[in-house]
Amino acid sequence: MTDVKVCAFSKAYFRELLERDITWSNMLLDVMAQRIVHTSNRASYQQLYSLEHSLYRLLEIQSQQDIAIKKQDMAAYLGISVRSLNRELKKFPE
């Protein structure tokens, strides 16, 4: 988890930045490209490995880093419903 700063500005100002500031446009394109790469990597990983394996790794990371991840967030990351997550979690020993 990392800290995030959020900025809000009008659509008109956003469009103006896109049209007039090449640095801003390039930065935005880089960020969007990175998101696409991360999303496709995660999707391909989910295709290659079983849900059980992915859940095991996620639980392992959670215990190693001593963090608590909400079930909703875990389900969203794994691309399943919370109900399906609960079913899978029942298969794991405490």
* 54 & 94 share domain: yes
Extract the residue ranges of the chain whose pLDDT is less than 50: none
Host domain of residue 67:
50-94
Q: Is the pTM of this model over 0.75?
A: no
Tokens of 8: 């809000």
Q: Is 1 inside any structural domain?
A: no
* 78 & 93 share domain: yes
* 35 & 74 share domain: no
Q: Is 90 inside any structural domain?
A: yes
* 94 & 54 share domain: yes
State the pLDDT at residue 2: 86
How many whole angstroms separate alpha carbon 78 and alpha carbon 81? Answer: 9
- 52: three-class secondary structure by DSSP: helix
* 39 & 60 share domain: no
Instruction: Classify burial at 78, counting beta carbons within 10 Å of its beta carbon; exposed 0-12, middle 13-18, buried 19 or more.
Output: middle
State the pLDDT at residue 94: 63
* 18 & 42 share domain: yes
